[in-house]
A = this chain, B = another copy of it.
Amino acid sequence: MNKPIPSPQPSRGPTEHEVRAQIVDAATDYFSRYGYEKTTVSDLAKAIGFSKAYIYKFFDSKQAIGEVICANRLAAIIAAVNEAVAEPYGATEKFRRMFKTLLTAGSELFFADRKLYDIAAVAAAEPWPSVGGYEARIQDLLTQIVLQGRESGEFERKTPLDETVNAIFLVMRPYINPLLLQYNLDSAEDATVQLSNLVLRSLAP
């Protein structure tokens, strides 16, 4: 297992992709059990049965592997949210479902596996680029929901759109940023319902 499987095609793209995926899967498993912070690339190499040098052919560092894991989990959260707010809901219901799903999927993907939270905490503290992308996606989705609500007459239109979106994002942030969520987990479900109601009152025409 110390060499990549030779590709039948001239391009080694797909093979490289497969090996990368194999490393990421094994690392996800390993980090879940032993934590991200305490694991070294050597530990990982030993566990997968690859040489350390071989892993470094595909990833520059442990962080590079962690970033892929983090990006995968964040993408899964966004996918869950997109599914939750798919038509035919009105803007009010979409907003509630979005906030609720962000909390549920986020808690599940980062806290059910308590050890994987390690990665989320490092990612959010630095922050890693995937976290910035994740927050931008949420803000985009929020913008769409607010626009829909303004068009349908569910929401007020006086406040500048970016101010509305940014302020709502600030309200949600303690429950979608894992670094903050760790302090809010116990009461998060009730809190997000109450905060959804407050935000919706602020959006009333």
Contacts and interface: CB of A to CB of B under 8 A. Distances in A.
Interface stretch (A11-19, A56-64, A145-153, A161-169): A161-169
Given A170-B191, A171-B171, A191-B170, A199 B202 contact: yes
Contact of A180 (B164, B183, B195): B183
A9 interface: no
Copy number in this complex? 2
A2 interface: no
A39 interface: no
A194 interface: yes
Interface string A167-205: 110110110010110010000000100110111011110
Contacts of A168: 198
B159 A194 contact: no
Nearest to A198: B167
Nearest to A179: B183
B198 A171 contact: yes
A194 B179 contact: no
Contacts of A174: 173-174, 180
Contacts of A202: 198-199, 201-202
B195 A159 contact: no
A201 B205 CA distance: 10
A180 to B, nearest CB: 6
A201 B199 CA distance: 9
Given A199-B202, A202-B201, A167 B183 contact: no
A114 to B, nearest CB: 17
Given A198-B202, A201-B201, 5 more contacts: A163-B194, A167-B194, A167-B198, A199-B202, A201-B202
16 contacts: A156-B201, A159-B201, A166-B194, A167-B197, A168-B198, A170-B191, A170-B198, A171-B171, A171-B195, A177-B183, A180-B180, A180-B183, A198-B199, A199-B202, A201-B201, A201-B202
